[in-house]
């Protein structure tokens, strides 16, 4: 009986994540809701992380079913705090956005809750974890070159020729932690974690889950259509397939979070601005 109630709550929260990702985030881009894109983005980021934290606690005894191991959990709880610190390093405390502070507060609450209600996590040795971290870093670097080149082809791509290379590298490195606490923390638990586990429990074959999550991820970035077609038709779907493959093979969204953070940072802040 308790399991059925937990499953119902989980489904409601999963639907909530999808509502935040699609109607709440996307509709304001087309002026169909009386709120600004910035306000919608704040609701999306804070609402998504709050629901993610609740789902982690709700499924704390079965997190492995959703590709959440100890390493992924560490990233999920600490990345929002790292985002605030990284924003400070780049621009100062006054430029840390309110949504960042809110998510940092939620992450502290999640950490304290996990210390009280200890989760059941899959046992993986340090050697295997480090191996997958190394693979994720290498894949993230390679993907950032490919994605950066594709972004560079889009009309209106910026140029940072006037910026010194060391400064570019520093900004791109710090931006990795910003992207970990932002895009990776917001998107990986939904698409490569909870949605994947939910569909697998309903006996979907994982190859179809892999393709479906990529399609859904692509639709979640439909605001690129028309203004950034290389991103919409190539970078986003290929990236989603790569991220899904990493989470699938490693059984941890920790690896896909690393690839996501590195890819978004270096592709968007370094490689796309170079003269190819």
Residues 257/188, Cβ–Cβ less than 8 Å: yes
Domain, as residue range, for 35: 2-273
pLDDT of residue 122: 84
- The proportion of the chain whose per-residue pLDDT surpasses 90, expressed as a percent, equals 72
pLDDT of residue 153: 82
pLDDT digits (tens, 9 = 90+) for 181-208: 999 999 999 999 999 999 999 999 999 9
pLDDT digits (tens, 9 = 90+) for 123-163: 888 899 999 999 999 999 999 999 988 888 875 555 555 56
pLDDT digits (tens, 9 = 90+) for 71-130: 999 999 999 999 999 999 888 888 899 999 999 999 999 999 999 999 989 888 889 999
pLDDT digits (tens, 9 = 90+) for 10-51: 999 999 999 999 999 998 888 777 888 889 999 999 999 999
Report the distance separating Cα 9 and Cα 12, nearest Å. Answer: 5
The number of folded domains in the chain is: 1
pTM: 0.93
pLDDT of residue 276: 45
């Amino acid at each position: 009986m308790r399991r059925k109630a937990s499953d119902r709550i989980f489904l409601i929260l999963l639907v909530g994540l999808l509502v935040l990702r699609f109607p709440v985030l996307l509709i304001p881009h087309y002026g169909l809701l009386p709120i600004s894109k910035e306000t919608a983005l704040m609701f999306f980021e804070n609402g998504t992380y709050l629901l993610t934290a609740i789902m982690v606690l709700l499924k704390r005894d079965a997190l492995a079913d959703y590709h959440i191991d100890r390493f992924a959990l560490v990233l999920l709880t600490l990345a929002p705090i790292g985002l605030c610190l990284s924003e400070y390093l780049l621009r100062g405390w006054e430029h840390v956005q309110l949504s960042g502070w809110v998510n940092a507060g939620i992450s502290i609450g999640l950490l304290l809750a996990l210390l009280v209600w200890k989760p059941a996590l899959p046992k993986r040795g340090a050697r295997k974890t480090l191996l997958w971290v190394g693979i994720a870093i290498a894949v993230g670097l390679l993907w950032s070159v490919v994605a950066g080149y594709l972004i560079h082809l889009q009309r209106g791509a910026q140029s940072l020729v006037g910026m010194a290379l060391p400064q570019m590298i520093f900004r791109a490195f710090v931006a990795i932690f910003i992207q970990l606490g932002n895009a990776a923390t917001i998107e990986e638990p939904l698409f490569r974690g909870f949605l994947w586990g939910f569909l697998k429990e309903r006996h979907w074959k994982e190859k179809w889950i892999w393709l479906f999550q990529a399609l859904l991820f692509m639709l979640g970035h439909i605001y690129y259509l028309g203004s950034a077609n290389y991103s919409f038709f190539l970078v986003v779907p290929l990236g989603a397939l790569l991220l899904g493959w990493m989470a699938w093979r490693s059984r941890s969204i920790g690896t896909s979070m690393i690839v996501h953070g590195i890819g978004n940072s270096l592709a968007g802040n370094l490689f796309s601005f170079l003269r190819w």
